[in-house]
Amino acid sequence: MIDIFGLPLDQLTRTLRNDYGKGLFHAEALYREVFKNGGKNIGNAPEFKNSLKFWTELEKALVPVSGKVEETFKEDELVKFITRLTDGLKIESVVIPMTRHNTLCVSSQVGCKMGCKFCQTARMGFKRSLSTSEIVGQVFNARHLLGYDIKNIVFMGMGEPFDNFDAVMTAVEVLNSQKGCDIALRHMTISTCGVVPGIERLSQMNLPNLRLAVSINGPDDATRSALMPVNRRWPLAALKKSLEAYPLSSRGVFLFEYILIKGVNDSMDHAQALARFIHPLSVRLNLIPYNPVTGFDHQSPSDEQMHDFAQTLTDKGVFVIKRWSRGRSVSAGCGQLGKI
Ligand SMILES: C[S@@+](CC[C@H](N)C(=O)[O-])C[C@H]1O[C@@H](n2cnc3c(N)ncnc32)[C@H](O)[C@@H]1O
Ligand code: SF4
């Protein structure tokens, strides 16, 4: 069987060569027909129409996109969709309309092991990691089943991408191919809670245009460890060291995400400590008010508190963006996925 959603172009080429005596010409045609045209009419493409015997055999071997979109929820233009995977588990993905194009927030795991004390996905526990095919399938379905023009991908849905490193990086490769999905590396962001070995492995891969986001959420070890158990394994000093060694492109920046939780990590002392942690890294800091998650006793900060926190950092020369979460009414805001 051939699961094109899980195969980078060179692997697909090898498979067609070994199994059918074909090569790059047909692999590229398959990529185009599936990823650009939605895969409805592959047999009528000239490359297959003229090799009917080959197409008849190949058609039987092609695996359809894994998972069925079962439900969609809308808040204005934002759409959350739920996919039921072949083993019955469910994942969520969110289409977020931006000024120029749509961004798709994809899941990399069913649940998460990391246990952050503010996140709905943590509350559902860890079920399993997704395959490359299941990650790419979310993009395929958003584009070709639901009809959205997706130009950006953020790995900010359910799960920790660096706890599923190989499948995620292969998905990046499949999505990036100009012959298929054609999503530029600079339009893909991997968000990690701070899994240092993952940052180090990515450093070695020489992909300077791929964007790296890091969820900070606590500017000192005591605050961060209380919120994010991952900090006990890789404390802030280790995290910073890995970022200092990371080969950012000359104009590249890290995206730091910092959720503001009232009375927990939103004081001006926290803001000062965060500015110290950031210096001298090149960072764009996203401040996100905590989105309510049932079972956690946290509250969002007031607009004034968020403004003052941002101002303290701006005064220290940090580039800050206040990100008001969208999709809360359909539980599609950051960290709200997994109530399924
Ligand atoms: C759900 S995580 C998935 C990616 C990765 N595991 C990570 O932690 O970066 C994406 C972002 O959602 C944020 N997040 C989690 N729970 C949240 C909540 N209740 N309110 C706002 N943001 C939240 C995380 O801090 C992270 O920046
Ligand atoms: S914030 Fe990210 S790492 Fe933490 S539990 Fe949620 S999905 Fe996992």
- Give me the DSSP letters along 133-200: HHHHHHHHIIIIIS---EEEEEE-SSS-GGGGHHHHHHHHHHHH-TTTT---GGGEEEEES--HHHHH
CA 160 to centroid of ligand 2, rounded, Å: 6
Model pLDDT for residues 164-192, shown as the tens digit of each residue? 999 999 999 999 999 999 999 999 999 99
pLDDT tier at 340 (50, 70, 90 boundaries)?
A: low
Q: What is the pLDDT of residue 113?
A: 98
Ligand 2 neighbour 112 (Cβ under 6 A) = yes
Q: What is the ipTM for the molecules in this complex?
A: 0.99
Q: Which of 112-121, 133-142, 291-300 has the lowest mean pLDDT?
A: 291-300
On the question of pLDDT at 229 being above 80, the answer is yes
pLDDT tier at 135 (50, 70, 90 boundaries)?
A: very high
Q: Across residues 93-113, what is the average pLDDT?
A: 95
Q: Which atom of ligand 1 lies closest to the CA of 286? A: 27
Q: In percent, how much of the chain has pLDDT > 70?
A: 100
Pocket test for ligand 1, best of 93, 104, 168, 191 (most atoms within 8 A of CB): 191
How many residues are given for the chain?
340
For 70-330, CATH gives: 3.20.20.70
Boundaries of every domain in the chain: 4-61, 70-330
What global pTM score does this model have?
Answer: 0.97
Ligand 2 neighbour 122 (Cβ under 6 A) = yes
* C-alpha 23, offset from chain centre: 31
On the question of pLDDT at 138 being above 70, the answer is yes
Q: Across residues 96-116, what is the average pLDDT?
A: 95
Which segments of the chain are extended strands (E)? 68-75, 78-84, 90-97, 102-105, 109-111, 126-129, 150-155, 188-192, 211-215, 254-260, 283-289, 319-322
Active site amino acids: 334
Model pLDDT for residues 298-313, shown as the tens digit of each residue? 999 999 999 999 999 9
Please identify which residue in the block is written with the tokens 């927030």.
105
Q: What is the pLDDT of residue 335?
A: 82
